[in-house]
Each structure stands twice: as structure tokens, then as C-alpha cells.
Amino acid sequence: MDWLKIFRAEKKTTAQTAKERLMVAVAYQRSGNANGPAYLPKMREELLGVVRKYVQVPDDAVQFTVQREDGLEVLELNITLPEQ
């Protein structure tokens, strides 16, 4: 029966779609904030406090990203200062 497929356009099955979507969702979960160290939120809070001693910044001024590459964990810290 498989030769009939030749006449049909090759259509992606829903299972394939599910797999692709999961690969992305899981990669995000593993790399990102979901699995980052537990102290991150608190550290962010305290850093925000320190910055605010000197400059008035909004809540989202301090941003973290955690990346894992070749068994190496990289913590990137971004502080956005307001435009004067």
C-alpha cells in the first residue's frame, strides 16, 4: 500500500510536530531560568537594591541569563541604566 504515498504530497504527521515542539520546549527548560541555580531570584533582588542606592531603575533593569555550553555554566548579568 505504501507506493500510494508517492501520489500524495508528503505530509508531516502530528506526532512529528509534537516531537519538534517538545525539543524546543525542553531545550528552553534546560538552558534557561527554569533550571538555573535557586539563589538567582534573591541575588537579582539584592543587586537591584544596590543599583538603586545610586540610580533609580525599574524592576526589570537587572536581567540574568544562564547558559550551559560544553559543561561550562555562564551567568550573564545585564543592568540597564535609564537614559538621562
Structural element, H or E, at residue 83? none
Cell of 37: 541555580
- Rounded to a whole number of angstroms, the minimum distance from the CB of residue 3 to another protein is 18
Closest CB to another protein among 33 and 80? 33
Amino acid in the structure at residue 10? E
Binding mask 2-41 for another protein (x = CB under 8 A): -----------xxxx-xx-xxx-xx--xx---xx------
Residues 6+ apart with CB under 8 A from 31: 66, 67, 68
Q: Which residues bind another protein (CB under 8 A)?
A: 13-16, 18-19, 21-23, 25-26, 29-30, 34-35
